[in-house]
Amino acid sequence: MKVAVRALNERGDSIDGPTSEDIRKLLNELSAKNRFLILERSDAENSEYYMQAYRHDDGTYWLEHRDGGADAHFQSTCRDIRVLTQAFTMWMYRISGWRDAFHWEAWRETPTGEME
């Protein structure tokens, strides 16, 4: 099933219409030199529909998703790459329930512009 999503990482790798296997591979490749993966919806009304994971040095992941604008911008954390992979895959295919494994909070930034 082809999806209207683009996956891109810190190294600059980009895949249009990734598969679930592509997502698993890209997430498993996150490291100190390749910290983030972003999925962007290419069929959305604007560029504010995305999901992102950022890998910290301790192996935890910070998650961010945005559904159209600032009022629908959320953050969470995850320690399990399998749960993260499942959520990214479900989001990509628009399968309901992808949010359920996480405690989501409204996005907030520190004065330096980083996530709190």
Of residues 87, 89, 90, 91, the one with CA closest to residue 103: 87
Instruction: Note whether 18 and 91 are within 8 A (CB).
Output: no
Residue 113 has pLDDT above 80, yes or no: no
pLDDT given at position 68: 85
Q: What is the pLDDT of residues 30-66, one digit of tens each?
A: 999 999 999 999 888 878 899 999 999 999 999 999 9
Provide the pLDDT confidence category of residue 3 given band limits of 50, 70 and 90.
Answer: confident
Span 72-89, average pLDDT: 95
Question: Which structure tokens are listed for 55?
Answer: 């890998």
pLDDT given at position 115: 53
Q: What is the pLDDT of residues 86-109, one digit of tens each?
A: 999 999 999 999 999 999 999 886
Q: Which helix (H) or strand (E) holds 83?
A: helix 81-92
Task: Enumerate the H helices of 5-46 as residue ranges.
Answer: 20-28
Question: Residue ranges per domain, the chain?
Answer: 5-106
pTM: 0.88
Give the whole-angstrom CA distance, residue 13 versus residue 1.
21
pLDDT given at position 1: 66
pLDDT given at position 114: 53
Strands of the chain (E only): list them. Answer: 5-9, 14-16, 36-41, 49-55, 61-67, 73-78, 105-106
Burial of 65 (0-12, 13-18, 19+ CB in 10 A): buried
pLDDT given at position 21: 96
pLDDT given at position 110: 52
